[in-house]
């Protein structure tokens, strides 16, 4: 006997995820004014999703990821609680989701899975994400280690000294892992008197602080983030059978170290900005980056870090990347960054204190007023799954705010089982082949160890003589 539900699905356009991504738009939900959507050509003007805990932000995040994927746009998203992993399998016909689809006016509610790639800095719940300490650089590393200005100065000297050694004496003096950096800092401390005239003061106390901070970071498992093979950021930008791959970063364990979480994601954004070519305005983004718990990026960030975040957010859209910050309150995002975020979804906020009431007033003022909605009041009355929506239209102007019901996701709402996740990781053969095993490559740790050996000491002395007297006596000159 034929399956009537399958037959109905085959005849219904809403059974295809691409139904929610057509005519250059992705569907967010429905309001009294009609459908609410994001124009794909304006999706790289970034966005902001806000709301209190339990108001539906994670589901909205999933809807965004599904819709962009259906439009052929790859997505990167950090999975804080594990719930987003369910996007890799079909959802279920739950009564509340069917009812929501009917209330919005959709021609039915159907389920689908989306192509996923799982990543994990610790290599436990996805393909390992690695970079080199050298690639991260002293600014981000200073943020990760929570350094003072003098301590950051010595860290900068460490990177500069290693760079000079690579240029003049030893091309293999590369700072790949944390142990490489510890070796460089230790060697600098030992050579502090001779390095002072060229690089500045290297205080023993500061060297000790840096070494302790790096050891703590290693004990927290952060050293798994540093090594080879380093992540190729282009592997986030794959399309399969017309669907953008949703790259899900397992972040539940990573959130035990909020600074590592924020620094790792900022490094990824920075890599995208540095590596991708300028493309101007496209019909749709090349990648959408969903940054959950975005307040961690800005909390106690020094001015230099905020300047970098603002610069990347402002300019990365010309590389075809849309960044969507997800956090509890709009006030979590500094004004100079918030001004760059054109597409906005505001879930409910609660006001129990004067400070929270002020935050709600400020959130209401960011929207283009709708005479039919008391925006400030509506923010406090929104039900789970409801949101105030304003997106960019026409030439980039924000639409009038509407009270909307976000459409139900097609994939599972909730986490995968360990077996389901492992099966999807194993099926991702290309990434598994490339990243599963860490490559052992000689770096600064081994080079400094060799430098301090007997033969290394002789070579070092000759190199010193060559530097000092080569210009006078022609030591080491090459005949033309």
Helical H runs in 220-365? 258-275, 295-298, 303-315, 335-338, 354-365
Instruction: Tell me the three state secondary structure of residue 403.
Output: strand
Cβ neighbours for 279, distance < 8 A, ≥ 6 positions apart:
286, 318, 319, 320
What pTM does this model have?
0.90
- For residue 293, how far is the Cα from the chain centroid? 11
CB 424 within 8 A of CB 416: yes
| Structural domain boundaries in the chain | 31-129+232-416, 133-226
Q: Which residue has the higher pLDDT, 181 or 228?
A: 181
Supply 466's token pair: 């060559």
In degrees rounded to 5, what are phi and psi of residue 89? -135, 160
Q: Residue range 282-290: average pLDDT?
A: 97
Q: In the prediction, which pLDDT does 463 show?
A: 57
Half-sphere exposure in the Cβ direction for 88 (13 Å, CA): 25
E strand map for 121-242? 127-128, 239-240
Helix then strand then coil, % of the chain, to nearest 5: 50, 15, 35
Closest listed residue to residue 49, CA positions, set 261, 343, 317, 310: 343
Q: Residue range 274-289: average pLDDT?
A: 94
CB 108 within 8 A of CB 92: no
* Cis-peptide into 229, omega within 30 deg: yes
Residue 125 predicted with pLDDT over 70: yes
| Burial group, residue 152, by CB count within 10 angstroms (0-12, 13-18, 19+) | buried
Closest listed residue to residue 166, CA positions, set 465, 443, 470: 443
**Pairing label, strands 386-390, 392-393:** unpaired
Q: What is the rounded distance in angstroms from the CA atom of residue 126 to the CA atom of residue 105? A: 38
Instruction: Tell me the three state secondary structure of residue 174.
Output: coil
Task: Convert the pLDDT of each residue in 73-93 to its tens digit.
Answer: 999 999 998 999 999 999 999
Residue 415 predicted with pLDDT over 50: yes
Q: What is the rounded distance in angstroms from the CA atom of residue 88 to the CA atom of residue 290? A: 17
Cβ neighbours for 237, distance < 8 A, ≥ 6 positions apart:
74, 286, 287
Q: What is the rounded distance in angstroms from the CA atom of residue 445 to the CA atom of residue 183? A: 5
| Burial group, residue 329, by CB count within 10 angstroms (0-12, 13-18, 19+) | middle
Q: Residue range 27-43: average pLDDT?
A: 96
Helical H runs in 34-132? 57-70, 95-104
Instruction: Tell me the three state secondary structure of residue 28.
Output: strand
Closest listed residue to residue 51, CA positions, set 408, 411, 404, 413: 404
Q: What is the rounded distance in angstroms from the CA atom of residue 354 to the CA atom of residue 374? A: 19
CB 314 within 8 A of CB 340: yes
Q: The dihedral of CA 21, 22, 24, 25: what is its sign?
A: negative
Instruction: Tell me the three state secondary structure of residue 27.
Output: strand
Buried/exposed code over 10-24 (b: 16+ C-beta within 10 A; e: otherwise):
eeeebbbbebbbeee
The architecture (CATH level 2) of 31-129+232-416 comes to: 3-Layer(aba) Sandwich (3.40)
In degrees rounded to 5, what are phi and psi of residue 58? -65, -35
Supply 112's token pair: 């689908």
As a whole number, the mean pLDDT across the chain is: 91
Task: Convert the pLDDT of each residue in 85-124 to its tens digit.
Answer: 999 999 999 999 999 999 999 998 999 999 999 999 999 9
CB 401 within 8 A of CB 389: yes
Task: Convert the pLDDT of each residue in 239-251 to its tens digit.
Answer: 999 999 999 999 9
User: What is the longest distance spanned by two Cα atoms in the chain?
Assistant: 96
Closest listed residue to residue 340, CA positions, set 44, 64, 76, 38: 44
CB 104 within 8 A of CB 37: no
Kind and range of the H or E element at 133?
A: helix 133-145
Residue 327 predicted with pLDDT over 70: yes
pLDDT confidence tier of residue 459, bands split at 50, 70 and 90: low
pLDDT confidence tier of residue 10, bands split at 50, 70 and 90: low
Instruction: Tell me the three state secondary structure of residue 388.
Output: strand
Closest listed residue to residue 81, CA positions, set 53, 100, 49: 53
Task: Convert the pLDDT of each residue in 336-373 to its tens digit.
Answer: 999 999 999 999 998 888 888 998 999 999 999 999 99
Instruction: Tell me the three state secondary structure of residue 419.
Output: helix
Q: In the prediction, which pLDDT does 93 show?
A: 93
Residue 479 predicted with pLDDT over 60: no
How many Å is the Cα radius of gyration of the chain? 26
């Amino acid at each position: 006997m034929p399956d009537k539900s399958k037959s109905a699905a085959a005849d219904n356009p809403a059974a295809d995820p691409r139904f929610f991504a057509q005519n250059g738009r992705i569907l967010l939900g429905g309001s009294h004014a009609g459908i609410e959507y994001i124009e794909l050509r304006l999706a790289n003007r970034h966005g902001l999703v806000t709301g209190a805990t339990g108001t539906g932000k994670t589901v909205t995040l999933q809807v965004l990821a599904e819709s962009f994927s259906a439009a052929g746009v790859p997505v990167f998203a950090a999975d804080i609680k594990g719930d987003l992993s369910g996007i890799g399998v079909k959802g279920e016909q739950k009564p509340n989701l069917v009812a929501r689809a009917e209330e919005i006016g959709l021609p039915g509610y159907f389920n689908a899975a989306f192509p996923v790639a799982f990543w994990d800095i610790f290599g436990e719940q996805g393909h390992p994400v690695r970079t080199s300490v050298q690639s991260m650089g002293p600014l981000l590393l200073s943020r990760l280690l929570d350094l003072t200005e003098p301590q950051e100065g010595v860290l900068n000297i460490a990177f500069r000294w290693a760079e000079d050694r690579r240029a003049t004496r030893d091309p293999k003096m590369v700072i790949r892992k944390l142990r490489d950096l510890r070796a460089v800092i230790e060697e600098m401390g030992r050579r502090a008197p001779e390095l002072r005239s060229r690089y500045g003061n290297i205080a023993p106390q500061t060297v000790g602080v840096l070494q302790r901070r790096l050891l703590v970071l290693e004990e927290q498992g952060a050293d798994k983030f540093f090594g080879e093979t380093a992540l190729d950021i282009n592997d986030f930008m794959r399309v399969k059978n017309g669907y953008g791959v949703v790259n899900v970063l397992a972040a539940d364990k990573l959130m035990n170290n909020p600074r590592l979480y924020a620094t790792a994601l900022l490094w990824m954004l920075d890599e995208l900005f540095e590596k991708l070519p300028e493309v101007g305005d496209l019909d749709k983004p090349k990648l959408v980056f969903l940054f959950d718990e975005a307040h961690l990026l800005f909390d106690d960030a020094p001015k230099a870090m905020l300047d970098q975040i603002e610069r990347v957010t402002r300019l990365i859209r010309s590389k075809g990347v849309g960044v969507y910050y997800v956090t509890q309150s709009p006030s979590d995002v500094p004004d100079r960054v918030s001004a760059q975020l054109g597409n906005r979804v505001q879930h409910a906020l609660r006001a129990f204190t004067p400070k929270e009431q002020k935050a709600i007033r400020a959130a209401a003022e960011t929207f283009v007023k709708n005479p039919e909605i008391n925006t400030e009041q509506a923010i406090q009355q929104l039900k789970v799954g409801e949101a105030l929506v304003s997106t960019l239209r026409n030439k980039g102007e924000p639409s009038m705010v509407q009270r909307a019901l976000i459409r139900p996701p097609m994939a599972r709402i909730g986490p995968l089982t360990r077996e389901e996740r492992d099966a999807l990781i194993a099926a991702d053969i290309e990434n598994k082949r490339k990243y599963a095993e860490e490559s052992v490559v000689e770096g600064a740790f081994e080079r400094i160890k060799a430098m301090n050996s007997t033969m290394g000491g002789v070579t070092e002395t000759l190199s010193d003589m060559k530097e000092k007297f080569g210009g006078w006596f022609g030591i080491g000159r090459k005949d033309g």
